[in-house]
């Protein structure tokens, strides 16, 4: 029997915030030592922050990272710790993890598989380490090995898979297993997306089973750099069983997950695996003496980690991810709170609820006093005696009426603001709209009429609302939250400098069909530990509407566009799956047989035309949070030309095929 206490630390880091990042790393090492941990895994690039972007190419960043590394190494008395940073070597920059023990730097393992898809852009800054290669680098006054290394520290063999390494078809873990490692450490910066936790869990579980090892996975936490959210996933598995699992979406700076494992048991299990083929002539391990902390037998199996937070459904994940992102954005931007144009519709109501959930989750984890300390820069929180008072200090909402606004939306906005505890204002902006309209009418010498100026008359109402809420945001030093969602972004059903105005766009990654389901869930059920917000009934009972045309028009979003469920299905097929218009039409006919083929034809054509002509709008959206690996964000995920042919040939082929199949003209309307 050889017992070892291992740990994974989740850290809420900020790119280039050297003092904060270093304090978190040193704090995690100290906490591990106090908990009797022998081996600690910290997240990928934790000294610099993962989201440094092109600053990874700055010599000054590398100098600061090495200074922080030196202090981290000095702090490892009695602990073996893995710390991530960028490192220059042979004229290139590598994403590496340093292993330190008892105040000594033992070596660097460099990442082999770089993430270059979706939100990731690692090949822009780093080079992949060539498989099987080893070298040396002069660091902190001594020559240190770097490359594909295995470490033998006090008789425990340690190897690495760094984040993306574990997601590839050929994992380094298979080679590490042949080198008879006892523990694989996976320092990661793996962004949140719906359902991704279960994929990570399978990778860790299967890695521990197939490789016959203890597997320690450590991820980042919170809104690190503005767009990506990290859920603080940490997992420890041994011999094919999860023995500790972190509670996700935490509001602290760091958390430590620990477990006790029996190295001898994993060695025996690995020896019994038919697939285990030892590399009897492999490269020698980097050796270091180390006295592992004594672990008492009664502690066996008693991991100090939390069980899953219950945030495993898509609804729960959304209810926790965006509030955490807003909390960190507010804290790191040192803003005084949020301003929101609350229309009484689904989008703005959802954002108001996110702020309410943010306060609820933070207060219940940290306590009110802890929450106030985390947001100590915000004026007015000192006297906030409960969660409602905190929301009132942080969130200002405004209902901005024109002559086309109705009492239903006014009452709904008031009900939502009251339910969440926001400071609510009601503004009449109709005079401002009329001022702009009359100014233009005098200039062009004619009256503006709905029959010929529909879009212009709608847009001026949406745009007039922006200066008022910007003024409120400036007066209160708060962040203006934009309200446009992903489905609107896909087809440009949003007014630039109107509902897209803001510092942050929380919903730009969320499709409208799911958002409507989420609001119904929040009204009736709500997240675990918080519960429902019944006042949302005033919102969910309405058909979504921009409410910009005269009431007699009975305007609804889906009448202007198409049913949101169909819009989102077209978007997935056309943008995520890159299908042609003809393929999308055929797919929809099989998936939605209740809809007529001609109706589907109109909607498919409309989507592709609107998508093509509105890329410039998507380019101008305020920063949004990444929650779905079907994102349309052109800066981090979905790139499309601002000017293009607009699928003209493809749409002509669609119409020709529709005419052959359906008979008669199939021209768009």
The C-alpha angle with vertex 422 and arms to 421 and 428, in degrees rounded to 5, equals 135
Is residue 482's pLDDT more than 70? Answer: yes
Give the alpha-carbon dihedral of 554, 560, 563, 569, to 10 degrees: -160
For 226-235, letters b (16+ CB in 10 Å) and e give bbbbbbbbbb
Give the number of other Cβ atoms within 10 Å of residue 351's Cβ: 28
Is residue 1's pLDDT more than 90? Answer: no
**Cβ neighbourhood burial of 455 (10 Å; 0-12, 13-18, 19+):** exposed
Mean pLDDT of the chain: 94
Q: Which residues contact 101 (CB under 8 A, 6 or more apart)?
A: 76, 79, 80, 81, 153, 288, 290
Tokens standing for residue 100? 């330190």
Determine the topology of domain 314-557 in CATH: Rossmann fold (3.40.50)
Q: Is-contact 254 27, C-beta < 8 A?
A: yes
Is residue 281's pLDDT more than 80? Answer: no
Estimate the crossing angle of helix 450-476 against helix 430-444, to 10 degrees.
Answer: 130
**Pairwise CA distance, residues 514 & 315, whole Å:** 9
Give the number of other Cβ atoms within 10 Å of residue 553's Cβ: 14
Structure confidence at residue 666 (pLDDT): 58
Q: How long is the chain?
A: 669
pLDDT band of residue 303 (cuts 50, 70, 90) is: very low
CATH number, domain 3-299, options 3.40.190.10, 3.40.50.2000, 3.60.110.10, 1.10.10.10: 3.60.110.10
Q: Can you tell me whether residue 37 is helix, strand or coil?
A: coil
Helix (H) or strand (E) segment spanning residue 489:
helix 486-491
The C-alpha angle with vertex 148 and arms to 182 and 207, in degrees rounded to 5, equals 40
pLDDT band of residue 269 (cuts 50, 70, 90) is: confident
Q: How far is CA 259 from the centre of its chain?
A: 27
Q: Which residues contact 248 (CB under 8 A, 6 or more apart)?
A: 197, 231, 232, 233, 308, 309, 311, 320
Structure confidence at residue 304 (pLDDT): 47
pLDDT (mean) for 520-533: 97
For 326-339, letters b (16+ CB in 10 Å) and e give bbbbbbbeebbbbb
Is residue 552's pLDDT more than 90? Answer: no
Whose tokens are 């002539």? That residue is 281
Is residue 630's pLDDT more than 90? Answer: no
* 80-89/39-41 β-pairing: parallel
Q: Can you tell me whether residue 108 is helix, strand or coil?
A: strand
- The pTM of the full predicted model, rounded to 2 decimals, is 0.94
Tell me if 314-557 shares its fold with 562-669: yes
**Pairwise CA distance, residues 428 & 588, whole Å:** 43
Q: Which CATH superfamily is domain 562-669 in?
A: HUPs (3.40.50.620)
Per-residue pLDDT tens for 4-15? 999 999 999 999
Q: Is-contact 236 257, C-beta < 8 A?
A: yes
Ramachandran category for residue 193: left, alpha or beta (phi over 0 → left; psi -120 to 50 → alpha): beta
Q: Can you tell me whether residue 97 is helix, strand or coil?
A: strand
**Cβ neighbourhood burial of 549 (10 Å; 0-12, 13-18, 19+):** middle
Three-state DSSP string of 612-651: HHCHHHHHHCCCECCCCCCCCCCCCCCCCCCCCCCCHHHH
Structure confidence at residue 310 (pLDDT): 52
CA atoms within 13 A on the CB side of 579: 19
CA dihedral sign, ordered 561, 566, 568, 574 = negative
Q: Is-contact 217 204, C-beta < 8 A?
A: yes
DSSP one-letter string for 153-168 = ETTEEEEE--GGGGGS
Mean pLDDT is lowest, of 219-233, 431-445, 623-637, for 623-637
Per-residue pLDDT tens for 56-91? 999 999 999 999 999 999 999 999 999 999 999 999
φ, ψ of residue 630 in degrees (nearest 5): -125, 30
Mean pLDDT is lowest, of 174-183, 302-311, 364-373, for 302-311
Per-residue pLDDT tens for 30-40? 999 999 999 99
- The DSSP code for 283 is P
Mean pLDDT is lowest, of 69-78, 569-578, 626-635, for 626-635
pLDDT (mean) for 570-579: 96
**Pairwise CA distance, residues 152 & 270, whole Å:** 18
φ, ψ of residue 262 in degrees (nearest 5): -105, 105
**Pairwise CA distance, residues 87 & 67, whole Å:** 12
Is residue 272's pLDDT more than 60? Answer: yes
Catalogue the E-assigned strands of 508-604. none
Is residue 309's pLDDT more than 70? Answer: no
Structure confidence at residue 300 (pLDDT): 45
**Pairwise CA distance, residues 7 & 496, whole Å:** 48
Structure confidence at residue 667 (pLDDT): 52
- Give how far Cα 26 sits from Cα of 48, 73, 423, Å: 14, 9, 40
Give the alpha-carbon dihedral of 455, 347, 515, 167, to 10 degrees: 100
pLDDT above 90 covers what percent of the chain?
88
Tokens standing for residue 368? 């009110």
Q: Kindly list the domain boundaries of the chain, sorted by start residue.
A: 3-299, 314-557, 562-669
Task: Say which residue, 375 or 543, is predicted with more confidence.
Answer: 375
Structure confidence at residue 549 (pLDDT): 87
Tokens standing for residue 390? 């905190």
**Pairwise CA distance, residues 419 & 279, whole Å:** 64
Is residue 663's pLDDT more than 90? Answer: no
pLDDT (mean) for 333-346: 97
Give the number of other Cβ atoms within 10 Å of residue 621's Cβ: 21
Per-residue pLDDT tens for 131-187? 999 999 999 888 999 999 999 999 999 999 999 999 999 999 999 999 999 999 999
């Amino acid at each position: 029997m050889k017992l070892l206490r291992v740990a994974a630390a989740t850290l809420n880091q900020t790119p280039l915030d050297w003092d904060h990042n270093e304090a978190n790393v040193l704090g995690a090492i100290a906490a591990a030592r106090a908990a009797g941990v022998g081996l600690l895994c910290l997240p990928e690039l934790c000294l610099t922050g993962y989201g440094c972007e092109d600053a990874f190419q700055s010599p000054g960043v590398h100098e600061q990272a090495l200074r922080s590394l030196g202090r981290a190494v000095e702090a490892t008395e009695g602990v073996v710790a893995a710390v991530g940073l960028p490192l220059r070597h042979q004229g290139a920059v590598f994403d590496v993890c340093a292993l330190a023990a008892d105040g000594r730097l033992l070596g660097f393992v460099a990442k082999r598989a770089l993430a270059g898809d979706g939100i990731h852009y690692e090949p822009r800054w780093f080079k992949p380490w060539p498989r099987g290669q080893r070298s040396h680098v002069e660091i902190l006054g001594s020559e240190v090995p770097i490359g594909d290394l295995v470490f033998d520290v006090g008789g425990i063999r340690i190897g690495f898979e760094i984040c993306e390494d574990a997601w590839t078809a050929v994992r380094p873990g298979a080679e590490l297993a042949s080198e008879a490692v006892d523990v694989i450490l996976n320092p990661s910066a793996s962004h949140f997306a719906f359902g991704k936790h279960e994929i990570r869990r399978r990778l860790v579980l299967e890695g521990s089973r197939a490789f016959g090892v203890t597997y320690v996975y450590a991820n980042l936490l919170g809104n690190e750099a503005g767009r990506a959210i990290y859920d603080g996933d940490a997992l420890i598995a041994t011999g094919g069983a999860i023995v500790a699992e972190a509670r996700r979406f935490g509001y602290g700076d760091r958390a430590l997950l620990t477990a006790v494992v029996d190295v001898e048991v994993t060695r025996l299990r690995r020896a019994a695996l038919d697939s285990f083929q030892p590399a009897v002539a492999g490269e020698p391990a980097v050796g270091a003496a180390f006295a592992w902390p004594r672990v008492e037998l009664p502690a066996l199996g008693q991991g100090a980690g939390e069980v899953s937070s219950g945030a495993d459904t898509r609804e729960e994940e959304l209810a926790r991810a965006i509030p955490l992102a807003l909390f960190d954005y507010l804290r790191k931007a040192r803003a005084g709170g949020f301003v929101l144009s609350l229309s009484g519709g689904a989008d703005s109501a959802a954002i108001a609820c996110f702020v309410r959930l943010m306060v609820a989750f933070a207060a219940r984890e940290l306590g009110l006093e802890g929450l106030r300390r985390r947001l100590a820069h915000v004026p007015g929180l000192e006297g906030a005696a409960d969660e409602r008072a905190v929301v009132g200090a942080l969130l200002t909402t405004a209902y901005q009426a024109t002559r086309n606004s109705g009492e239903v939306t006014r009452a709904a906005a008031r009900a939502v603001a009251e339910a969440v505890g926001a400071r609510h204002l009601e503004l009449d902006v109709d005079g401002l709209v009329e001022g702009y309209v009359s100014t233009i009418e005098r200039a062009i010498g004619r009256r503006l009429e709905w029959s010929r100026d529909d879009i212009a008359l709608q847009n001026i109402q949406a745009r007039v609302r922006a200066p008022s809420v910007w003024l409120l945001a400036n007066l209160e030093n708060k962040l203006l939250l934009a309200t446009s969602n992903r489905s609107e972004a896909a087809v440009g059903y949003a007014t630039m400098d109107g509902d897209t105005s803001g510092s942050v766009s929380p919903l730009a990654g969320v499709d409208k069909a799911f958002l409507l389901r989420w609001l119904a869930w929040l009204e009736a059920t709500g997240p675990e530990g918080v519960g429902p917000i019944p006042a949302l009934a005033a919102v969910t009972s309405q058909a979504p509407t921009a409410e910009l045309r005269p009431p007699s028009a009975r305007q609804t979003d889906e009448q202007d566009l198409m049913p949101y469920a169909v819009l989102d299905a077209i978007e997935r097929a056309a943008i995520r799956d890159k299908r042609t218009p003809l393929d999308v039409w055929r797919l929809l006919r099989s998936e939605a047989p209740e809809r007529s083929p001609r109706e589907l034809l109109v909607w498919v054509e409309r989507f592709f035309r609107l998508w093509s002509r509105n890329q410039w709008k998507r380019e101008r959206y305020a920063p949004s949070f990444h929650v779905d690996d079907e994102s349309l964000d052109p800066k981090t995920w979905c790139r499309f030309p601002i000017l293009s042919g607009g699928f003209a040939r493809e749409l002509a082929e669609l119409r020709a095929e529709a005419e052959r199949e359906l008979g008669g003209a199939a021209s768009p309307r």
